[in-house]
A and B are shown apart, each in its own frame.
Chain A
Amino acid sequence: MKRILIVDDEPHVSRVLKLTLERAGYAVRTEPDGQAALASVLAEPPDAMITDIQMPRLNGRELMKMLHELMPERLFPVMVMTSMTAREEREWVREMPGIEFLEKPLSPRQLVARLNRHFGNESTIGGVTSDV
């Protein structure tokens, strides 16, 4: 079971993502800000991380910088939730390896599809499946 870390200060958002991903067969844990997420990652690296950018304490960008320095050999993919309009955010995201965008407003089903594709689970494309 792939472990997914969701980092978002909006509890409503992380809640619905967690519900959807869990139903798609992922083990999901959530953190409300970058600092907590960093601690969580260092303690137990996930298989994939989904993070917001605007967050208290440590924002998404700072979190990625820290991760990059602390875990240069990071193997798990990171998906950053951002909107089309935030161009300057795309700049720094592009400069860092292994980061993808997630378009806001986020469709949980598309997120599941992305993750399934990433982890090579063809059967989940376009829908939500039960435990893998």
Chain B
Amino acid sequence: MKQDHLGLTMICATLAAIALIVAALVFRQTTEHEKRVHAQGVGLTQSLASLPFDQLANGPEQAGILQTMVRVQRSPAFAYGLLVSPTGAKLVEVAVASLPPDAALPQEPAGWFGERELRSPEDGRRIIEFHGPVMRDGNLAGFVRIGYFATPPLLGLEQISFSALLALPVFLLTPLFYFLMRREMKPLAALGRQIQDMAPSLDAPTARLPANPQLDDFVQRFGQFLHATETRIRELEAERLTSVTSNRLLAYKQGKVEAVLHSLPQGVLVMDESCIVTFANAKLEPLLGASRDQIIGQAPQKWCSNRDVLAFLVRHQGHGSPSGRTTQTEVAVDGATPRQIELASYPLFSPQDHGNIFGTLVVFRDVTQEHLAKNAGAEFVAHVSHELKTPLNSLAAWSEALMDVENLTDALRVEAANVIHDEVQRMASLINNLLNISKLETGALAIEPQRVNLRDLLRDSFESLRQGGLGKGIEFRIEVPPNLGLAALDKDLFRIALNNLLSNAIKYNVPGGRVTLAAEEADDQHLEIRVRDSGIGIPAEHRERIFDKYFRVTDSAADGVTRSGHGLGLYLVKQIVELHHGTIGVRSEPGKGTEFCIRLRKQTTPFEEAIAA
């Protein structure tokens, strides 16, 4: 319907255009006709006026000149030709198309030549009349009046055809344009329908053009389309933001997980079902002796130089973990320092389908230290039991000797008693150390610091140890200034530390050697206690480890005398010193002797406190 309206309008517009063209043509023809009439009229009037009156007015039979001249004109607009007397009486008349209207003639010479408009007495058509004077012997004898129709009688055929020729293409072009336009509009309309189909539930358009229903339709649909697009873009943008956020969150989470995996104390390796490594953390590098770049994305055969490790890893090829269960093994790895590594593999079950294994997680744990500790622990137990059994052995034998009353002499009884006493002391010392250490390690040993006169404590310990060390050919010296300050110490604990150091100094000494206990104020804040011996010394390579639990120097000393420690004494000393917020250090020279130095914080005396207050 809308298209039909448009077509009708187009046709009307075409007709209007044709009418306009025709009107323009008529107007132009009229104008040109008037110009032509004017030129003809003026020319004819002047030529007739220049003729002598007699030649013009020679009777009706001689009216031929006027007639001839008028005929020469051959103008279709010619209305009439007249020769009149000055009073207006008609002398000669050549009427072609119209009767000449009556009209007065000018009397003044200035108005003799002139032009005026008249109406035809027959049909009232407009007539342009030219008039001029006709002279005889220098006197006015009459006037010639030439009349022309102001409008051409009818448009000539040629003019009609010319107009038609002009109108026809216009008329033909208009529908052409119309159909072309319709053709152009078709896809738009189709587009509009398409958009409507695409987004049928859309809101009202954003703009309306009531003048053009088709375009309006299009605009409406286009508006809907834009609206839908905008909504979609907004949705997409929101989705994009969500996805970017979730991507970042994922990346962050992944980074966090990787950081966790990298900071694990264990080496972590993830292999897919074809045994290609997909993840390896940094801790693996020192364990395997290969960099992560070498490991990731490669099969173990490419980078694994250890046969046992390789054998363990390739077992998981194809089916994750053999039988889908956790497997574990321990391998020794060579290197700068031989290591013991525990390998444990865990099948990675697919989160969707637990029956499906998509890879294997292999955890490498360095158990070298554990092994050392285990070995050290086993060694320690063996050693302690030997240490405990040795005095028992002696005790059993000597007590049996005491039972043999028949052969018991006084000398033997005294000897047996002494031996039994010594051995009991030895066992008690060992057991005390063991108990103290176990208390220290379980935290059951509470330190009870008191303000202690260090000099007294040192002298006390020194004396008791000197008694025990008598008869070994060792010289004992104590160098403690009388004005040595106070220290906050747990007396009983600290005595254990001192006794351990002093008994070591005796044990690891040589006949004719010396044990010195010295103390001094190192500075305003600190006291230093030194236990020095002139014994066998500690080899440099062991000095670092002598305070370690269970550590013993197992090498035979140069003098061949066995001095078996139980690996607890110095460990206990260090623990005790540190409980007192002190430090312990050692200097030693094999064959010359050893010096242990304990550094403690000094306590201000009550007297000094009073002064300071």
Measured between beta carbons, the chain B residues less than 8 angstroms from A35 are 560
Measured between beta carbons, the chain A residues less than 8 angstroms from B395 are 105
Number of interface residues of A (CB under 8 A): 26
User: Considering only CB atoms, which chain A residue lies closest to B422 in the complex?
Assistant: A12
Measured between beta carbons, the chain A residues less than 8 angstroms from B397 are 12-13, 16-17, 20, 105-108
Q: Which one of B10-18, B356-364, B383-391, B530-538 is at the A interface?
A: B383-391
- The 8 Å CB contact of A105, one of B396, B560, B561, is B396
Q: Is the CB of B386 within 8 A of A106?
A: no
Q: Is A62 an interface residue (CB 8 A)?
A: no
User: Considering only CB atoms, which chain B residue lies closest to A109 in the complex?
Assistant: B400
Q: How far is the CA of A20 from the CA of B395 in the complex (A)?
A: 14
Q: How far is the CA of A12 from the CA of B423 in the complex (A)?
A: 9
Q: Is the CB of B385 within 8 A of A105?
A: no
**Given the known A-B contacts A55-B562, A83-B389, A104-B393, are A12 and B398 also in contact in the complex, defined by CB atoms under 8 Å?**
yes
Could you name 24 residue pairs across A and B whose Cβ atoms are closer than 8 Å?
A10-B390, A10-B394, A12-B398, A12-B419, A13-B393, A13-B397, A16-B394, A16-B397, A16-B398, A16-B419, A20-B400, A20-B404, A55-B562, A56-B560, A57-B560, A83-B389, A85-B385, A104-B392, A105-B389, A105-B397, A107-B396, A108-B400, A109-B400, A128-B407
Known: A16-B416, A104-B389, A105-B389. 11 other contacts (CB 8 A): A10-B390, A10-B393, A12-B398, A12-B423, A19-B401, A19-B412, A20-B397, A20-B404, A57-B560, A105-B397, A106-B397
Q: Is B556 an interface residue (CB 8 A)?
A: yes
Measured between beta carbons, the chain B residues less than 8 angstroms from A12 are 394, 397-398, 419, 422-423
> In A80-132, which residues have CB < 8 Å from any B CB?
81, 83, 85, 104-109, 128
**Given the known A-B contacts A16-B401, A106-B393, are A56 and B556 also in contact in the complex, defined by CB atoms under 8 Å?**
yes
Q: Is A23 an interface residue (CB 8 A)?
A: yes
Q: List B residues at the A interface (Cβ < 8 Å).
A: 385-386, 389-390, 392-398, 400-401, 404, 407, 412, 415-416, 419, 422-423, 556, 560-562
Measured between beta carbons, the chain A residues less than 8 angstroms from B556 are 56-57
Measured between beta carbons, the chain B residues less than 8 angstroms from A10 are 390, 393-394
Q: Is A33 an interface residue (CB 8 A)?
A: yes
Q: How far is the CA of A104 from the CA of B387 in the complex (A)?
A: 13
Q: How far is the CA of A60 from the CA of B172 in the complex (A)?
A: 134
Measured between beta carbons, the chain A residues less than 8 angstroms from B386 are 54
Q: Is the CB of B392 within 8 A of A105?
A: yes
Measured between beta carbons, the chain B residues less than 8 angstroms from A54 are 386
Q: Is the CB of B401 within 8 A of A108?
A: yes
Q: Is A31 an interface residue (CB 8 A)?
A: no
The 3 closest A-B pairs by CB, nearest first: A56-B562, A105-B396, A12-B394
Q: How far is the CA of A20 from the CA of B401 in the complex (A)?
A: 7
A54 to chain B, nearest CB (A): 6
Q: Is the CB of B560 within 8 A of A33?
A: yes
Measured between beta carbons, the chain A residues less than 8 angstroms from B416 are 16
Q: Is the CB of B393 within 8 A of A105?
A: yes
- The 8 Å CB contact of B561, one of A17, A23, A56, is A56
Q: How far is the CA of A62 from the CA of B19 in the complex (A)?
A: 142
Q: Which of B390, B395, B422 has the most CB of A within 10 A?
A: B390
User: Considering only CB atoms, which chain B residue lies closest to A85 in the complex?
Assistant: B385
Measured between beta carbons, the chain A residues less than 8 angstroms from B562 are 9, 33, 55-56
- Interface 0/1 of A1-32, CB less than 8 Å to B: 00000000110110111011001000000000
Q: How far is the CA of A104 from the CA of B396 in the complex (A)?
A: 9
A15 to chain B, nearest CB (A): 8
Measured between beta carbons, the chain B residues less than 8 angstroms from A104 are 389, 392-393
A2 to chain B, nearest CB (A): 19
Measured between beta carbons, the chain B residues less than 8 angstroms from A19 are 401, 412
Q: How far is the CA of A35 from the CA of B412 in the complex (A)?
A: 30
Q: How far is the CA of A12 from the CA of B419 in the complex (A)?
A: 7
Q: How far is the CA of A44 from the CA of B415 in the complex (A)?
A: 30
Q: Is the CB of B394 within 8 A of A13?
A: yes
B67 to chain A, nearest CB (A): 171
User: Considering only CB atoms, which chain B residue lies closest to A20 in the complex?
Assistant: B401
User: Considering only CB atoms, which chain A residue lies closest to B397 in the complex?
Assistant: A16
Q: How far is the CA of A19 from the CA of B385 in the complex (A)?
A: 26
Q: How far is the CA of A95 from the CA of B129 in the complex (A)?
A: 170
User: Considering only CB atoms, which chain A residue lies closest to B412 in the complex?
Assistant: A19
Measured between beta carbons, the chain A residues less than 8 angstroms from B396 are 105-107
User: Considering only CB atoms, which chain A residue lies closest to B557 in the complex?
Assistant: A56
Q: How far is the CA of A13 from the CA of B392 in the complex (A)?
A: 10
Measured between beta carbons, the chain A residues less than 8 angstroms from B412 are 19
User: Considering only CB atoms, which chain A residue lies closest to B562 in the complex?
Assistant: A56
Measured between beta carbons, the chain A residues less than 8 angstroms from B393 are 10, 13, 81, 104-106
B123 to chain A, nearest CB (A): 159
Measured between beta carbons, the chain B residues less than 8 angstroms from A109 are 400, 404
A5 to chain B, nearest CB (A): 17
User: Considering only CB atoms, which chain B residue lies closest to A16 in the complex?
Assistant: B397
A59 to chain B, nearest CB (A): 10
Q: How far is the CA of A63 from the CA of B264 in the complex (A)?
A: 50
Measured between beta carbons, the chain A residues less than 8 angstroms from B560 are 33, 35, 56-57
Q: How far is the CA of A127 from the CA of B274 in the complex (A)?
A: 78
B452 to chain A, nearest CB (A): 37
Measured between beta carbons, the chain A residues less than 8 angstroms from B404 are 20, 109, 128
Q: How far is the CA of A22 from the CA of B101 in the complex (A)?
A: 198
- Interface 0/1 of A32-62, CB less than 8 Å to B: 0101000000000000000000111100000
B115 to chain A, nearest CB (A): 160
